[in-house]
């Protein structure tokens, strides 16, 4: 026993640890201990959970995780072994105990702020730690830790208080593993401090540079800024804006050149406006002129057919109605006429058409009093009715009705021309507006009127056709509200 004790004393003396040696007989009764008090309460290893490890070691040294030595009131680390007799049977136990606090003091000065260190054996029992309340417990599941770390010696883990760097060092010679748990905020604090210092210095240098640049460049850039503001005003449409600038000769030359250029642009714009206005008027009159001969041709042709049939009385009535219609439409010097005037002229036109086609259809007009005196482009409703007669009624076997109505919808005047004729397909409607109608009697009036309206009032207005083959047609014409001035 004495030789064994000396061997352990030498080992512990090498690491400057105080220890006490306990000798126990095979039945667990202490019989020798020269470093402990006389009244020391000997432990019985046979009733400890680690006894099996000592027994299986067959005389080998077993490191026992810290346990609570109730006799001395400390957590102790134990190096224990079974002492074997010549027959190989256990005749006693040798235990060399070290106060866990001595182990702790060997590394306490290297523990970082808010960090924790855990020294464990191969089974995960805490041998020593700065967290004293967990010493002696199997705090770690080593298999789970192997999965966590993988091939690395560190891992970032989420602790209850914050993220932490969890690192390990394994001493293969003694079977110990050291774990260190350090908050990331603590580790990154120097980096954050350096970053903040760099940011502050950068901001200060940048601010100083901006102030110096502003100070030294003010007199140079101010005239350029005024010139820029002037160009921006011109870009926003202020072509008549002026600029007075006294600066370096190059900037003065540039300013003078810009103002000269703007003067030429204003002159060109005025010239272009006049040309566009003349072009618009010519287009409008051309479109209007296309309708008038077409209407007069159809009417005169109808009168000729009646004369050829020797129906002189009927021809005379048709001429009288035609003259009255011309007086109310073509003799109007204004480009606009009221809704009431156009509806009255429409009835005269319907009378002429009934002379030609017989009593095969009727034209019914209805409009709100609110739009009676509103102005529309002259001769704009009649071509729509003409198309309904020619394309919807001419070959219609039943009695036809053409209903013309006018009212205000959505802040617009809406004129609807609806018939119960043969109707149109979607392809025919598309061909009408695209000018691709190749029938013997093309819908020349509809496309013409649509272009007149858009040319005069914009794309928000115009014509729309709703029709299905065999179910009649409806043409909707939208126009702005133009009220007649009361003199």
* Residues 135 and 78 sit within 8 Å (Cβ to Cβ): no
| pLDDT tens figures, 140-166 | 777 777 788 878 877 888 777 778 888
Q: To the nearest whole percent, how much of the chain has pLDDT over 70?
A: 72
* Residues 224 and 251 sit within 8 Å (Cβ to Cβ): yes
Closest CA to 2 of 46, 41, 33, 37: 33
Q: What structural domains does the chain harbor?
A: 2-99 (3.30.450.20), 104-186 (3.30.450.20), 276-479 (3.30.565.10)
Residue 238 three-state SS: coil
Q: Is 82 left (phi over 0), alpha (psi -120 to 50) or beta?
A: beta
| pLDDT tens figures, 189-206 | 888 888 899 999 999 999
Q: What pTM, to 2 d.p., does this model score?
A: 0.42
Residue 333 is predicted with a pLDDT of 45
Least confident of 292-301, 327-336, 415-424: 327-336
Rounded to 5 degrees, what are φ and ψ at 373? -100, 10
Residue 440 is predicted with a pLDDT of 45
Interatomic CA distance for residues 333 and 317, integer angstroms: 26
Residue 321 is predicted with a pLDDT of 74
* Most trustworthy range by pLDDT among 117-121, 306-310, 416-420, 449-453: 416-420
Bridge partners of 467, per DSSP, are 473
Interatomic CA distance for residues 313 and 168, integer angstroms: 122
Average the pLDDT over 304-321 and give the result: 78
Structure tokens at 44: 């019985």
Interatomic CA distance for residues 431 and 425, integer angstroms: 10
Average the pLDDT over 425-446 and give the result: 68
Structure tokens at 472: 């009649």
The mean pLDDT of the chain is 76
Residue 439 is predicted with a pLDDT of 46
Closest CA to 418 of 451, 381, 450: 381
Least confident of 56-60, 434-438, 477-481: 434-438
| pLDDT tens figures, 119-130 | 887 777 888 888
pLDDT at 394 exceeding the cut of 80 = no
Torsion of CA 34, 39, 45, 46, to 10 degrees: 130
Q: Which residues contact 481 (CB under 8 A, 6 or more apart)?
A: 371, 374, 408, 411, 412, 413
DSSP 8-state symbol, 374: B
Structure tokens at 392: 């919807």
Q: Which residues contact 450 (CB under 8 A, 6 or more apart)?
A: 433, 462, 463
CA 187 to centroid of chain Cα atoms: 38
Average the pLDDT over 70-97 and give the result: 76
| pLDDT tens figures, 315-329 | 787 787 777 766 665
Residue 406 is predicted with a pLDDT of 94
* Residues 384 and 429 sit within 8 Å (Cβ to Cβ): no
């Amino acid at each position: 026993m004495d030789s064994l004790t000396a061997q352990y004393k030498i080992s512990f003396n090498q690491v400057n640890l105080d220890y006490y040696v306990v000798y126990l007989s095979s039945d667990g009764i202490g019989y020798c201990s020269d470093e402990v008090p006389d009244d020391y309460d000997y432990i019985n290893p046979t009733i400890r959970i680690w006894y099996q490890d000592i027994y299986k070691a067959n005389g080998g040294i077993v490191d026992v995780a810290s346990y609570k030595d109730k006799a001395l009131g400390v957590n102790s680390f134990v190096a224990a072994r079974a002492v074997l007799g010549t027959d190989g049977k256990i005749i006693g136990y040798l235990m060399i105990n070290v106060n866990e606090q001595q182990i702790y003091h060997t590394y306490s000065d290297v523990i970082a702020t808010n960090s924790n260190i855990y020294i464990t054996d191969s089974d995960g029992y805490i041998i020593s730690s700065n967290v004293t309340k967990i010493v002696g417990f199997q705090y770690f599941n080593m298999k789970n830790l192997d999965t966590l770390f993988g091939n690395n010696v560190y891992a970032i883990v989420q602790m209850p208080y914050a993220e932490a760097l969890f690192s390990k060092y394994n001493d293969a010679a003694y079977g110990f593993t050291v774990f260190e748990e350090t908050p990331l905020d603590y580790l990154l604090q120097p980096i954050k401090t350096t970053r903040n210092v760099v940011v502050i210095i950068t901001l200060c240098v940048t601010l100083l540079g901006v102030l110096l640049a502003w100070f030294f460049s003010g007199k140079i850039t101010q005239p350029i800024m005024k010139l820029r503001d002037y160009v921006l005003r011109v870009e926003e449409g202020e072509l008549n804006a002026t600029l007075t600038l006294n600066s370096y000769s190059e900037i003065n030359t540039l300013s003078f050149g810009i103002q000269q250029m703007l003067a030429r642009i204003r002159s060109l714009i005025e010239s272009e406006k006049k040309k566009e206005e003349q072009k618009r008027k010519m287009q409008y009159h051309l479109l209007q002129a296309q309708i008038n001969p077409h209407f007069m041709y159809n009417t005169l042709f109808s009168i000729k057919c009646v004369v050829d049939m020797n129906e002189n009385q009927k021809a005379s009535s048709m001429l009288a109605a035609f003259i009255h219609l011309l007086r109310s439409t073509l003799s109007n010097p204004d480009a606009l006429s009221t809704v009431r005037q156009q509806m009255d002229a429409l009835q005269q036109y319907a009378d002429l058409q009934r002379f030609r086609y017989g009593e095969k259809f009727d034209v019914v007009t209805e409009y709100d009093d609110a739009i009676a005196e509103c102005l529309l482009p002259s001769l704009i409703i009649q071509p729509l009715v003409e198309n309904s007669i020619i394309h919807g009624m001419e070959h219609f076997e039943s009695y036809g009705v053409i209903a013309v109505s006018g009212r205000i919808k959505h802040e617009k005047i809406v004129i609807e021309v609806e018939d119960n004729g043969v109707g149109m397909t979607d392809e025919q409607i598309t061909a009408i507006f695209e000018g691709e109608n190749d029938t013997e009697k093309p819908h020349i009036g509809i496309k013409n009127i649509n272009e007149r309206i858009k040319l005069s009032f914009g794309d928000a207005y115009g014509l729309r056709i709703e029709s299905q083959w065999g179910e009649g047609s409806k043409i909707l014409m939208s126009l702005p509200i133009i009220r007649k001035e009361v003199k």
